[in-house]
Amino acid sequence: MRIGIGLNLFTAEAGGVSNYVATLLRHWPRLGQGHEMVLFSFAHNEPLLRLLPPESRRHELRLQTQEGVFEHLDRIDVYFCPFGSLWPRPMPLPTVLTFHDMQERFFPEFFTPAQHVERFFHYDWSLRMADAVIAVSEFTKRSCVEITGIDARKLVRVHHAPDELPAPQPPAPGAVPAGPFVFYPANFWAHKNHRRLLQALALLRDRGLAVPCVFTGSLLGRPAEWEAMVAETGLGGQVTHLGHCPRPALSWLFRHARALVFPSLFEGFGIPVIEAMQCGCPVACSGTTALPEIATGRALFFDPNDPASIAAAVARIWQDTALRHALAAAGRIHAANFSPEALVRGHLGAFQLARRRYRPLLHWYRRTVLEPRSRRPRTGLRPQEAAAARRLLQATVSTKGEGP
């Protein structure tokens, strides 16, 4: 089987999704033997592509536009889009989509009207036109079925396998606190909930417990907003933001942090949680969306909407040495379940499912019926979608994961 993979969105800005794709490509030559991965790449992918071993790029075709893939369909048996949307579509051959999340249905206030239009257009119609869909968690799988109503039989749940962290290298001298600290790696997106974590740290400080915190990730061109948030909580001397860090520095931070604190409001998976576990770093994280599924009792959960709940979890994991050791030990064992072998095996199953489900008549229907319908833009969330999102959110809430 020859699988063509569209890499247009394979950039550092894509964050954890690009890490997932890099992991898949790095391990494919060894674990997907007998099945070629043909890379449809673009010039802007080069900074990440050059980090891959040469064997991962053995079959690579450089395109100028995504539509250029139509000139090479005779070279592939399956077309695969790993970044959440299928493009171009429809395709006259079996297609597979990796779907990560539909956060806009759960937190519409985090998105502009234009972003809503774009997401409805790409996400809904990609899910309908793909022959098989890889969902990165059971939570994401249920979201696809219950919110968009697509056929559950074409969904395959395949958990991420975090990309292997390199040998640790410390950040620049003086960049991190000399003593213990907690760690939060996340871009400055609204759902990453930085403000409530800062509020929780301020609560602890006011009670006499100063917990230093190191942040990493892109500030997305809004450093003034971050600085104002820090000033508002009076934590200027207690928190450090390193911006975008190379992976050797992240590796060092995971290994030297007293704990990972991960207060995200929404995750389709949550790769940093498993990366922390791989490194023996105990985890305190939100008990919502996919995180209870991914951490499964190997983390200390809290309510991300409540700074007091976050503060209580941070204080406990900061002060309870026995809990940290138990979480770290259990996390290391648990992280082994998220392996490259399982990742590749799951993808092969999805590619084979797409080949079984595809029919030329399906392509005709998608091209003549679904594609014209998809051009009618919609801007608003339907009431039934909002209700399904609320049910799913309530069903995942957990604040009882206190380790093994």
Structure tokens, 181: 């600290």
Predicted confidence (pLDDT) at residue 397 exceeds the cutoff of 90 = no
| 179-225 pLDDT per residue, tens | 999 999 999 999 999 999 999 999 999 999 999 999 999 999 999 99
The CATH classification number of 182-337 equals 3.40.50.2000
Cα–Cα distance, 395 to 401 (Å, whole number): 15
Best CA proximity match to 219, nearest among 191, 241, 252, 248 = 241
pLDDT, average across residues 41-69: 96
| 301-344 pLDDT per residue, tens | 999 999 999 999 999 999 999 999 999 999 999 999 999 999 99
| 259-299 pLDDT per residue, tens | 999 999 999 999 999 999 999 999 999 999 999 999 998 99
Structure tokens, 65: 């536009």
Bridge partner residues of 39 (DSSP): 5, 60
Q: Can you give the pTM of this predicted structure?
A: 0.91
Task: Parse the chain into domains and list their residue ranges.
Answer: 2-161+340-395, 182-337
Cα–Cα distance, 112 to 20 (Å, whole number): 27
- Give pLDDT, residue 287: 95
Q: Specify the residue for token string 């996400």.
A: 123
Q: Where are the beta strands (DSSP E) in 67-119?
A: 78-81, 95-99
Q: Where are the beta strands (DSSP E) in 275-384?
A: 283-286, 300-302
Best CA proximity match to 18, nearest among 9, 5, 30 = 9
Q: Helix 340-357 crosses helix 16-31 at what angle (to 10 degrees)?
A: 90
pLDDT band at 232 (very low <50, low <70, confident <90, very high): very high
| Architecture of the CATH domain 2-161+340-395 | 3-Layer(aba) Sandwich (3.40)
**372 upstream amide cis, omega within 30 of 0:** no
pLDDT band at 380 (very low <50, low <70, confident <90, very high): confident
pLDDT band at 398 (very low <50, low <70, confident <90, very high): low
Best CA proximity match to 1, nearest among 60, 70, 71, 79 = 79
Cα–Cα distance, 171 to 239 (Å, whole number): 15
Task: Estimate to the nearest angstrom the gap between the alpha carbon of 67 and the chain centroid.
Answer: 26
| 239-258 pLDDT per residue, tens | 999 998 988 999 999 999 99
Q: Where are the beta strands (DSSP E) in 283-365?
A: 283-286, 300-302
Following DSSP, what letter does each residue of 381-401 receive, concatenated? Answer: --HHHHHHHHHHHHHH-----
Structure tokens, 336: 């082994």
